[in-house]
Amino acid sequence: MSGQGTRVREGLIFERSSPGRVGYQLPRLEVPLVDPAVTLGGSLRGEIDGLPEVSEVDVVRHFTRLSKWNYSVDEGLYPLGSCTMKYNPRINEELARLPGFAHLHPLQPADQVQGALALMWELEQALLAITGMARVTLQPAAGAQGELTGMLMIRRALEKRGERRRVVLIPDSAHGTNPASAVFAGFEVLEIASTPEGTLDVEAVRRAVAKGGVAALMATVPNTLGVFEPAIGEVAQILHDDGAFLYLDGANLNAFVGIASPGKMGADALHINLHKTFSTPHGGGGPGAGPVAVSAALEPYLPIPTVEREGDGFVLSYDRPESIGKVRGFYGNFAMLVRALAYIRSLGGDGLRAMAEGAVLAANYVRKGLEGDYHLPYQRPTLHEVVFDDSRQKPFGVTNVDIAKRLLDYGFHAPTMSFPLIVHGAMMIEPTESESLGELDAFIHAMREIAREARETPEVVRQAPESTPVQRLDEVRAARSPVLRWRR
Amino acid sequence: MHRYLAGEADRRAMLEAIGVASVEELFADIPAAVRVGELPLGPARSEDEVRREFWAYALRNTTPECAASFLGAGVYRHTVPAVADALLQRGEFFTAYTPYQPEVSQGTLQAIFEFQTFVCQLTEQDVANASLYDGATAVVEAVLLAGRVGGSRRRVVVAESLHPDYRRVLETYCSAQGMEVTPLPWDRAGMADVEALPRLVGEDVCAVVVQSPNVFGIVEPLAAVAEAARGCGALAVQAVAEATSLGLLVPGGRFGFDVVCGDLQAFGVPPAFGGPHVGFFAARERHLRQMPGRLVGETVDRAGRRAFVLTLATREQHIRRAKATSNICTNHGLVALYVAIVLSLLGKRGVRELAVASHSVAEFVKAGIGRSGKLALVFPGSPTYNEFLLRHDDPEGLLQRLRGQGILGGVPTTRLAPHLPPGVLIAATEQNTTDECLRLIAALEAVA
C-alpha cells in the first residue's frame, strides 16, 4: 500500500493478513463442542492454507478502496451499447432487502410464501402486458439462459410434432450468446448476412427456410445497430408458414416498451433482461434475470414450476407434463424480480412509454451531436443506440480502442467496442433515458474533443488513458502465462 | 415528468437539435401492425405508494425467524456480517458492469481475483472462474466440460444422492446435448454405492458426479469415487451445496477430482426465496482452456504496476460464438463479491470455527433424536455435516404438527423428489439456539 486518499494502492486481502486478527464473532456455542476427528474421521481437513487473517476494519478499508477504482452508473453516463446501463433506483434495493423477501427460504410451506408468489404472478402479468405474449417463465438467471430456455422449448415443440429440424438461422449482427445458446440447445447455426442497410435479409431467410430443416430464427429487435427490423412481421410469416419458430432476443426491449409488442411481431419466445430494461443493477457482471415470454404454441413446454392461481391464493405448479424441466435451482433470481416489479410500478404504463421515448431521444441526440465527427456506417434511422466506426480517425493512426481509452480520461465509460461484428472498428453507444441534456452534452463534447485530438495530437489519444488508476494493461501477458489466483 | 427521466425542457432541446417536431417521428420505422396502445399498468407511483404495495407482499410472507427453523436442502442459514451488504451497496460496485474497460474497473477485477483465490483455497483446485448462476448450473457446466474433454463419451454417471434440483437441471441440459444420465444408487449407508460403480462406468462415460455432503447431509467416500472415475478415463466431479462444510471436510481436489463446483449461498447470502445465489466452478489446470465463464488474471500496466484483467476470453461466447465453452455472459459477480467479503471477514479461523459450530449443533440435535426410542434416522451411523434425514412415512403431516408449536422442522423429502426415502431433512447451524434444538427434539418425540 502506498499513496494518498483515493489514489491509494491496495494490495490483495491475502497480503493484509496478520496472525491472530479476526473479522467476525459467532454466537456463543451452548451445545457441547464436537471433536470432528471423532465424527468425521478421515474426511476431516486441516487448516486451510492461505486464508487471510484480517479485522473488520481491514475488510471495510480494503473493499472501500477497491470500489473507488471502479467507474459506475452512479458516477456518470455509461454508454455500453446493448447493455442498457440505466439508473438503478435505490427504492428497489430497499424493497428487495425487506426481511419478508430476503429471508424467505424457497422450501417453506406454500401458505407462508403467498406474498412472494403473488409478486411473481404480478410481474408475470406486467410482462405479459408489455410483450403481448401468452405466458412467462421467471426462472432463467440471465439473458443467455433465457435464450437457451426458449430454444429448448422450441426443440421440445418440434420433437412433439415428430420433427427433427436442426438449423437455427442467426443474423451476422447478433449477440454472441445467440449462436452459443442455440448450440447448447442442440441445434446447428446458419448465419444470415445482413443487407447493405444492416437489416435482416428477408430473401436470404426465405431461401434458407425453403431448403428445409429450419427450426427457428433468432433475431434482435431493434437489432444491434439500433435499427428496427421493418420486415420482422414478414419474416415471422415465412417461418410460421413453414412450421418454424421466431425467437426474439429482448436485449434491446428498452427501445420500444409501450410502443410496439413482440406478440404482434409474431414472436414465439422472447427473453427479457430485467437488468437492462427493468433497472435491476448490473452488479459488476450480474446477477441479472432473464424471464422468457412465450406464445401459446410454446406454453406447454415452460420450465417447472410455474406460479398458478388456486382458490384465493397461489401455488407453485409442477403439473406440466410436456415441460422441458428445470433450467436452474428453485424459481429464479427472486430478489431481482422484486426490483423489476418495483420499477414497473414506479413508472406505470405511461412512464414506461416515456422511458422508451427518452432512450430513443437520447440516442438520436448523441447521433446528431457526433455525426459531424464520426463516421456512421449505416444510415437508417436508429432507436435506442447508435453505432459509429473509427474510419475517419484511422488515417491519423487512431483506432476505436484508442478513442475508448481516451474517453476514460474525460471521465466517461467507453461504448461497447468492436461489436456488432458487421461494423469494422465499431463503437456502439447507448446512453439510455437516464441522462439529462447536460450529461449528454458533456459526453458529446468529450467525443468531439477526442476527434479533434485524433486530428491534431493523435499520440495523446494513442497513449490514453493517463488519469485512470492504472494505464493500459499487458493483456497478452495475462493470456499467455495466466495467473488466476494469488499464491504465497 | 418522472423522477427517473430527463425533464420537459431537456426533451424539447433534444427534439430541436435532432430536427424533429415530436418524438413520434423517431419511431417512424415501426409499422402500425406491431404498435400497441396504452399499457394497462396504471399510473406512475411515488416511492411511498410502491413501498406500501411491496410491504403488503412482504407481510403476507412468514419468514423463518418467526419460528425455530431447521430448513436446509440446498439453502442454509448462517452468520450474516453486516459489513458485507454495506460494502455491496456501494454504487461503485453494484451499478458497474462487467469489467470490459480494466483501467476503470480494477475494483471489481481485483475483488473477483480474490474470489477466485478463495474458491481455489476452499476446493484445493488450481483454477476457479468468476462465478456461475448457481449450484445446479455449475454441475451442468462441469458435465458439459467433461463432454468436451471426453470426445465421443456421451454418458454421465450421477449419484442419486445429488440434490434433486441439480439433477433436474442437469437432465434438461443433457437431453439437449444427446448425453445420457445413468443413476448411481446409494448404498445402505446413504452413500454413493462405490461397489456398484465398476458396473456402471465404462469407456463411454465422460463424468462421474457426486455431491458431498450429499442430499442426505452424508459425507461421500470421495477417494473411492475418484479412483473409479479415473479407472475408466472419466472426469470426477464433486458438487457442494453446503459450502461451509469445506471448512471441515477434505475437498475433492485432494483426491484428484477434476472439478469441484456448487453453490456458495451458505456463506451468508440471503436465501431470497431461492436466488440470486452464486455458483462456483474450480478445476485442475489441465482443464483451463475448457473452463466456462469469465476468468480474471493478473498482469501489469504500461508503468509496470500490478493490475487485473479479464483473460482467456477466446473460450467465451462473445468471441467464439457457436464454438464457445458455455453460453454464459452475465454471471453472478456481485454475489461473488459478497462471498469474497464474507470469507475475508471469517478468514482462516472463522471458516473452520463456523463449520465446527454448525456441525456441533447438528450433532447435538441428531444425538437427541437418536436417544428417543420413537424416532429413527434413515441412515443411522453415517457421518453427516449439518443435515440428516429423519425417517417418517408422512413427513408433511409431521411438519404440519410441528408448525403448531412454532417450529419449521425441516424439508420433507416428498417435496424434493419421489425417489428419495420418505422423511424430513433436518438442517441445524450455529444460528439455531440450544433452546430451539431442545424444542425440536421434544416436539418430534411428542408428535411422531
- Partners of B96 on chain A (C-beta within 8 Å) are 70-73, 282-284
Note whether B348 contacts A: Cβ–Cβ < 8 A: yes
CB pairs under 8 A between A and B: 695
Q: What percent of chain A stands above pLDDT 90? A: 98
Closest CA to B210 of B265, B249, B153: B249
Burial category of B428 from C-beta neighbours within 10 Å (exposed 0-12, middle 13-18, buried 19 and up) = buried
- Partners of A417 on chain B (C-beta within 8 Å) are 100
pTM (predicted TM-score): 0.98
Which uninterrupted H or E stretch holds B183? strand B180-184
Q: pLDDT digit string (tens) for A157-211?
A: 999 999 999 999 999 999 999 999 999 999 999 999 999 999 999 999 999 999 9
Residues 250-309 of B with CB under 8 A from A: 250-251, 254, 263, 270-278, 288, 294-303, 305, 307, 309
Give dist(CA A217, CA B53) in Å, integer: 40
First to last CA, chain A: 17
ipTM of the complex: 0.98
Note whether B218 contacts A: Cβ–Cβ < 8 A: no
Q: Nearest chain B Cα to A488, which residue?
A: B117
Note whether A26 contacts B: Cβ–Cβ < 8 A: yes
Give dist(CA B282, CA B123) in Å, integer: 7
Give dist(CA A73, CA B90) in Å, integer: 11
Q: Which grid cell sits at A365?
A: 441526440
Mean model confidence pLDDT for chain A? 96
Closest CB from A36, A179, A257 relative to B322: A179
Tell me, what's the pLDDT at B370? 85
- Give, to the nearest 10 degrees, the angle between helix A232-242 and helix A202-210: 10
Helices (H), A297-333: none
| Model confidence at A245: pLDDT above 70 | yes
Tell me, what's the pLDDT at A374? 98
Q: Averaged over A36-54, what is the pLDDT?
A: 96
- Partners of A471 on chain B (C-beta within 8 Å) are 103, 301-303, 305
Indicate yes or no: CB of A103 within 8 angstroms of CB of B64: yes
- Partners of B34 on chain A (C-beta within 8 Å) are 232-233, 260-261, 264-265
Indicate yes or no: CB of A70 within 8 angstroms of CB of B92: yes
Closest CB from B95, B114, B351 relative to A74: B95
CA distance to partner chain B, nearest, from residue A38 (Å):
10
Give dist(CA A39, CA A53) in Å, integer: 27
Which of B97, B174, B351, B416 should one mutate to test binding to chain A, selecting the residue with the greatest count of A CBs within 10 A?
A: B97
Indicate yes or no: CB of B114 within 8 angstroms of CB of A12: yes
Closest CB from A97, A328, A347 relative to B133: A328
Looking at the DSSP bridge assignments, the partners of residue A101 are none
Q: pLDDT digit string (tens) for B370-392?
A: 888 889 999 999 999 999 999 99
- Partners of B280 on chain A (C-beta within 8 Å) are none
Tell me, what's the pLDDT at A5? 45
Indicate yes or no: CB of A329 within 8 angstroms of CB of B295: no
Indicate yes or no: CB of B101 within 8 angstroms of CB of A408: yes
Which of B61, B66, B399 should one mutate to test binding to chain A, selecting the residue with the greatest count of A CBs within 10 A?
A: B61
Q: Which grid cell sits at B135?
A: 449450484
Which of A78, A97, A105 should one mutate to test binding to chain B, selecting the residue with the greatest count of B CBs within 10 A?
A: A105
User: What are the phi and psi torsion angles at B105 (to 5°)?
Assistant: -140, 25
Note whether B89 contacts A: Cβ–Cβ < 8 A: yes
- The type of residue at B148 is R
- Partners of A109 on chain B (C-beta within 8 Å) are 399-400, 403
Note whether A60 contacts B: Cβ–Cβ < 8 A: yes
- Partners of A265 on chain B (C-beta within 8 Å) are 34
Q: Nearest chain A Cα to B255, which residue?
A: A43
Closest CB from A113, A348, A408 relative to B104: A408
Which of B280, B344, B413 should one mutate to test binding to chain A, selecting the residue with the greatest count of A CBs within 10 A?
A: B344
First to last CA, chain B: 62
Indicate yes or no: CB of B137 within 8 angstroms of CB of A328: yes
Tell me, what's the pLDDT at A9? 79
Query: Which residue numbers in chain B have pLDDT < 50?
Result: none
Note whether B367 contacts A: Cβ–Cβ < 8 A: no
Closest CB from A40, A80, A148 relative to B249: A40
Residue A432: pLDDT band with limits 50, 70, 90: very high
Closest CA to B213 of B172, B184, B247: B247
User: Is the CB of residue B440 less than 8 Å from the CB of residue B70?
Assistant: yes
Q: Which grid cell sits at A307?
A: 406460479
Give dist(CA A149, CA B329) in Å, integer: 15
Angle (CA) B22-B28-B34 rounded to 5° is 120
Residue A471: pLDDT band with limits 50, 70, 90: very high
- Partners of B60 on chain A (C-beta within 8 Å) are 100, 114-115, 118
Which of A1, A14, A33, A45 should one mutate to test binding to chain B, selecting the residue with the greatest count of B CBs within 10 A?
A: A45
Q: Given the DSSP bridges, would you call strands B155-159 and B205-211 parallel, antiparallel or unpaired?
A: parallel
Burial category of B51 from C-beta neighbours within 10 Å (exposed 0-12, middle 13-18, buried 19 and up) = middle
User: Is the CB of residue B197 less than 8 Å from the CB of residue B225?
Assistant: yes
Note whether A470 contacts B: Cβ–Cβ < 8 A: yes
Q: Nearest chain B Cα to A41, which residue?
A: B383
Tell me, what's the pLDDT at A7? 57
Closest CB from A40, A132, A350 relative to B248: A40
Indicate yes or no: CB of A51 within 8 angstroms of CB of B121: yes
Tell me, what's the pLDDT at A8? 64
- Partners of B134 on chain A (C-beta within 8 Å) are 141, 328-329
User: What are the phi and psi torsion angles at A146 (to 5°)?
Assistant: -65, -45
Q: Averaged over A242-246, what is the pLDDT?
A: 98
Query: Using CA of residue B430, residue B433, residue B438, residue B440, what is the dihedral sign?
Result: negative
